[in-house]
Structure 1
Amino acid sequence: MDGAFPGVGTLVNVAAIVVGSVVGMTAGHRLPDRVRLVVTDALGLVTLLVAALAAVDVTAPSLRAAVGPGVPVLVVLGSLVIGGITGAALGLERRLQALAGQLQRAAAQRWPGSGQGTAGVDGGQARLRFIEGWLTTSLLFCVGPLTVLGSLSDGLGQGIDQLVLKSMLDLFASLAFAATFGVGVLFSAVSVAVVQGGLTVLGWALGAVISPAQIAALTAVGGVLLVGLALRLLRLREVPVADLLPALLVAPLLVAAVAGLR
């Protein structure tokens, strides 16, 4: 399926997330707390499955050929360590939580019935729920082979089939997440627009600048980040996933550096 213009695939994806989020928010308040907990656990397990499917790209032949046998795991480890140190030094987790808090307050004014609460414990829980929904779905929707390959293909004029498939998956995922986390999931549409839009522009302006090996490394690192999100959803450990986000930028650069030294 060919897009009429670069970026139409991302527009379809954003629209799917908005529709799914609105439907989920509309139906979500009707669910009792025990059902929401079960849904959250189910989402955590599915996120773990998606993470495993993404992380398996560490075994991709293109990555192994570019950096050498046994090195891909070290590339992922190096990306996470360097990215984590950078993110912690910049205070990304803290900054994103502050930004999410501002968005949550704006959302509470715009959608008074979206479950934000007022003050004290209710307001604090609502703020955490908003942050968790926004951060979780933003990463889930923005990390993965369909995001990178689909956006680049859109920019290169090679069609939007991959992004249409991703849109259908994101539609149902956003519906389920919004039923549990509320309006925070809706704001992930902005994250998708920025990330996929940027990749589409990159593909349109520079062509195929990211090699299959670099995409594989980025996807594998993204899979590990999704494991961190799954642990949070399952209430096992509060992994500071936002502090690890720079690893997504480090991974392709590290692949290029290692490949250049061979």
Structure 2
Amino acid sequence: MVLFGALMNGAGILIGTCVGLFFHNVSEKMKETIMNGIGLVILLIGLQMAVQSENIIVLLLSLLFGAIIGERCQIEERFEQIGKWLENRMGAHQQTSISRGFITASLIFVVGAMAVVGALDSGIRGDHDILLTKAIIDGFVALVLTTTLGFGVVFSIVPVLLYEGGIALLATQIDRYIPEAFLDAFIVEMTATGGLLIVAIGLNVLHITNIRVANLLPSLLLVGLVLYLTSSIGL
């Protein structure tokens, strides 16, 4: 089944969140220290991904035009609106954490090489190993995030399923129309672009910056187009 890997990824997040709820009574100082640790790891992961870029121009143009589209569409604000709606549905006592948990977890789980490459493998080769590995990793991350950000983390399952499931379904046909060499280059540059977004998430978690990362998400979709155009003119 093409969507098996994506569904297992969602299940991993669900299990991690449920387990994390049993550890919610930790002190605020411990939560702060845990989040700082998470932020540092996120930062490292993002840097390792970002340095893989083989064409900085593709990276720059993708982020530039992605930011313009994201700001015009107000993606970050729409995420916040969804979070606030969830807060209202869950009750006033949850309002301090659901929105932040939903947004932070969604960005961490969606932006990354494993989500893209794993979904492509599921669709093209029917190989779900990468997404199954990601499900285990995301489960542990969801556990830790839940102890600090609360139950809102579980709602990140929805964008994860839509993102990975959509890529997997598209990938069932993509190899018929896109040359393998271009697809490989696309994965490299998308990984690097996603890495920079993960760096931004890490900086936000550490309270160093307040980057509207969701408004940069269109850059991931533009990588293919920018790569094609730059290759056509020899950049």
Q: Flag whether TM exceeds 0.5 (same fold).
A: yes
Q: Distance in 1 between matches of 2:87 and 2:200?
A: 23
Tell me how far 1:228 sits from its aligned partner: 1.2
Match of 2:93, SS state, is coil
Q: Distance in 1 between matches of 2:44 and 2:160?
A: 21
Alignment map for 1:62-211 (pairs within 5 Å): 72-106=55-89, 108-109=90-91, 117=93, 123=95, 126=96, 129-207=97-175, 209=178, 211=183
In the alignment, which residue of structure 2 is the partner of 1:62? none
Structure 1 residue runs of 5 or longer lacking an equivalent are: 60-71, 110-115
| CA-to-aligned-CA distance 1:115-138 (integer Å, 9 cap, x gap) | x527xxxx4xx1xx3232222221
Question: Do the aligned partners of 1:80 and 1:244 also contact (CA within 8 Å) in 2?
Answer: yes
Question: Do the aligned partners of 2:80 and 2:103 also contact (CA within 8 Å) in 1?
Answer: no
TM-score scaled by length of structure 2? 0.92
| CA-to-aligned-CA distance 1:54-99 (integer Å, 9 cap, x gap) | 212214xxxxxxxxxxxx1121111111111111122222222112
Tell me how far 1:205 sits from its aligned partner: 3.2
Question: Do the aligned partners of 2:86 and 2:99 also contact (CA within 8 Å) in 1?
Answer: no
Q: Distance in 1 between matches of 2:215 and 2:157?
A: 21
Structure 2 residue runs of 5 or longer lacking an equivalent are: none
| CA-to-aligned-CA distance 1:212-257 (integer Å, 9 cap, x gap) | 1111111111111111111111011111111111111111210011
Q: Distance in 1 between matches of 2:167 and 2:16?
A: 23
Letter in 2 for 1:104: E
Aligned residue-pair number: 230
| CA-to-aligned-CA distance 1:165-220 (integer Å, 9 cap, x gap) | 11111111111111111112101111110000001101123336471111111111
Question: Do the aligned partners of 1:144 and 1:219 also contact (CA within 8 Å) in 2?
Answer: yes
Question: Do the aligned partners of 2:2 and 2:122 also contact (CA within 8 Å) in 1?
Answer: yes
Q: Distance in 2 between matches of 1:37 and 1:195?
A: 30
The one of 183, 191, 199 aligned to 1:227: 199
Q: Distance in 2 between matches of 1:8 and 1:93?
A: 29
In the alignment, which residue of structure 2 is the partner of 1:35? 30
Q: Percent identity?
A: 31
Question: Do the aligned partners of 1:25 and 1:179 also contact (CA within 8 Å) in 2?
Answer: yes
Letter in 1 for 2:17: S
Larger Rg: 1
Q: Distance in 1 between matches of 2:117 and 2:51?
A: 16
